[in-house]
Amino acid sequence: MKKLELHWQILIGMLAGLLFGFIALQLEWQQFVADWIKPLGTIFVKLLKLIAVPLIVASLIKGISDLKDISKFKNIGVRTILIYIGTTIFAITLGLLLVNILQPGDGISQETVDKLTNTYANSSGVTAKISEASKQKSSGPLQFIVDMVPDNAVSAMSDNKAMLQVIFFTIFLGISMLLIGEKKAKPLKDFFDGLNDAILKMVDLIMLVSPYAVFALLANVVVTSGDPDILLALLKYAGTVVIGLLLMIVFYSILVSVFTKKNPLWFLKELSPAQLLAFSTSSSAATLPVTMERVEEHLGVDKEVSSFVLPVGATINMDGTSLYQAVAAVFAMQVLWPEGLSFGNQISIVLTALLASIGSAAVPGAGMVMLVIVLESIGFPKELYPVALALIFAVDRPLDMLRTTINVTGDATVSMIVAKSVGKLGKPKPKEWDDHYDEVK
């Protein structure tokens, strides 16, 4: 696979994984896949997560300490948050429009509801999501800000879910480094610069096995997927989400071309390895190191911008997840609780889905947990929660893969726009040896 571009290698790995998965399903090799194929994918995802925290710390410190002037950072911060909120509101509104126009709840018979309820309502997947949601919502409105401030830097860094805490500590440290002056900060800055380069090299090394890893990840997705009849019954709902997510790609392309004057096809091509990984892993957090590498080296966004915008985006900006929550909530109402479909409730969905996407963890299936919180906000009958989740559980995995791809694309789009607006969008500087084994040796 020497000279083939990385995204083609990954794509071939994915297709081979799908094909192998279908063959394994026919031959009933599920156990073989679980024992011998799946671990390769798991190790790959672990490797990516392993480097996420050190990469965020090193690159954010480098980004801030290169700034020279703190007011610039405020500028980047405010723009980032405002644009993130804007794209998320757009995504939710688009989801609501589509689900109201296409009415995916119409075609679902009582028989399908019963079948899904029997299969999934008491499954551990559904009950775990409901109990996790009740844990999250028992907190007050400012809790997420309180949670952002760590009381122990080391324990924050040892917890992949505490990404915002790590970002908070790192920004604090970076700003303080600016304040003590260049000379005193130099040893620390040199240390983090070196760490940053070494970790980016680790990303390159890990990516060398990505075509094989996505093979394993997708083969496993296929052999663990549900009953095809059920999937078919939910086709209209899944189709609505998919149309919405595809329209988001069009939306991002327009944003990139209007605000940065770059060709959107070039943007999508250069970002594609990160998008394909997001699709294969269903986790924007695991994809983050690759997103950072693509955006900085292949799209030309300066580290001063990307080192802040991308890690923050991975945690608080989830356009795909928000769109999905809007569609799923209204779909569940169309099937189970049509009397709740008021205009006021739809507005409530916009607000809660926005907050929920900020609060969602960037891990597989997180969107379903937050959906319970959205349903709660509109007074959806409690006893129907398991049925509502059962309705969407069967197709959640493929939709999770797609919405994660959109989440990552949204973060990259916003980093391009913010970079352009502060004069930090430069020429891409891909390293020649990047994506090929022979060149790394």
Site for ligand ASP in 372-411 (CB under 6 A): 400, 403-404, 407
Exactly one of 284, 307, 334, 415 binds ligand ASP (CB under 6 A); which one?
A: 284
Q: Residues for the chain: how many in total?
A: 441
User: Around Cβ 47, how many Cβ atoms within 10 Å?
Assistant: 17
Exactly one of 55, 233, 241, 366 binds ligand ASP (CB under 6 A); which one?
A: 366
In whole angstroms, the minimum distance from the beta carbon of 322 to ligand ASP comes to: 9
- Specify the residue, 185 or 374, whose C-beta has the smaller distance to ligand ASP: 374
Choose the stretch contacting ligand ASP; rule: CB under 6 A; options: 27-35, 61-69, 208-216, 364-372.
Answer: 364-372
In whole angstroms, the minimum distance from the beta carbon of 218 to ligand ASP comes to: 16
Choose the stretch contacting ligand ASP; rule: CB under 6 A; options: 133-141, 191-199, 362-370, 420-428.
Answer: 362-370
Angular region, 282: left φ>0, alpha ψ -120 to 50, beta rest: left
In whole angstroms, the minimum distance from the beta carbon of 232 to ligand ASP comes to: 23
In whole angstroms, the minimum distance from the beta carbon of 396 to ligand ASP comes to: 8
Q: Are 357 and 321 in contact (CB under 8 A)?
A: yes
Contacting residues for 147 by C-beta, under 8 A, at least 6 apart: 164, 165
In whole angstroms, the minimum distance from the beta carbon of 416 to ligand ASP comes to: 19
Q: Are 243 and 46 in contact (CB under 8 A)?
A: no
In whole angstroms, the minimum distance from the beta carbon of 361 to ligand ASP comes to: 7
Exactly one of 365, 398, 428, 430 binds ligand ASP (CB under 6 A); which one?
A: 365
Does 363 bind ligand ASP (CB under 6 A)? Our answer is yes
User: Around Cβ 355, how many Cβ atoms within 10 Å?
Assistant: 17
In whole angstroms, the minimum distance from the beta carbon of 439 to ligand ASP comes to: 31
* Alpha carbon separation from 403 to 176, 209, 222, 293 (Å, rounded): 37, 24, 18, 21
* Alpha carbon separation from 83 to 89, 222, 275 (Å, rounded): 10, 36, 21
In whole angstroms, the minimum distance from the beta carbon of 392 to ligand ASP comes to: 12
Distance of alpha carbon 54 from alpha carbon 51, whole angstroms:
6
Does 367 bind ligand ASP (CB under 6 A)? Our answer is yes
Distance of alpha carbon 314 from alpha carbon 404, whole angstroms:
10
Exactly one of 117, 220, 282, 317 binds ligand ASP (CB under 6 A); which one?
A: 282
| Residue 32: closest CA among 209, 216, 228, 213 | 216
- Specify the residue, 299 or 362, whose C-beta has the smaller distance to ligand ASP: 362
SS3 181: coil
Does 283 bind ligand ASP (CB under 6 A)? Our answer is yes
Distance of alpha carbon 441 from alpha carbon 431, whole angstroms:
14
Site for ligand ASP in 320-359 (CB under 6 A): 321
* Alpha carbon separation from 182 to 168, 171, 309, 441 (Å, rounded): 22, 16, 24, 37
In whole angstroms, the minimum distance from the beta carbon of 269 to ligand ASP comes to: 22
Choose the stretch contacting ligand ASP; rule: CB under 6 A; options: 40-48, 281-289, 303-311, 427-435.
Answer: 281-289
Site for ligand ASP in 288-327 (CB under 6 A): 318, 321
- Specify the residue, 302 or 400, whose C-beta has the smaller distance to ligand ASP: 400
Site for ligand ASP in 234-273 (CB under 6 A): none
The footprint of ligand ASP on this chain (CB under 6 A) covers a number of residues equal to 16
* Alpha carbon separation from 57 to 4, 70, 311, 434 (Å, rounded): 33, 18, 10, 22
- Specify the residue, 272 or 321, whose C-beta has the smaller distance to ligand ASP: 321
User: Around Cβ 6, how many Cβ atoms within 10 Å?
Assistant: 21
3-state helix, strand, coil in the chain (%, to 5): 80, 0, 20
Does 59 bind ligand ASP (CB under 6 A)? Our answer is no
What residues make contact with ligand ASP under the rule CB under 6 A?
282-284, 318, 321, 360, 362-367, 400, 403-404, 407
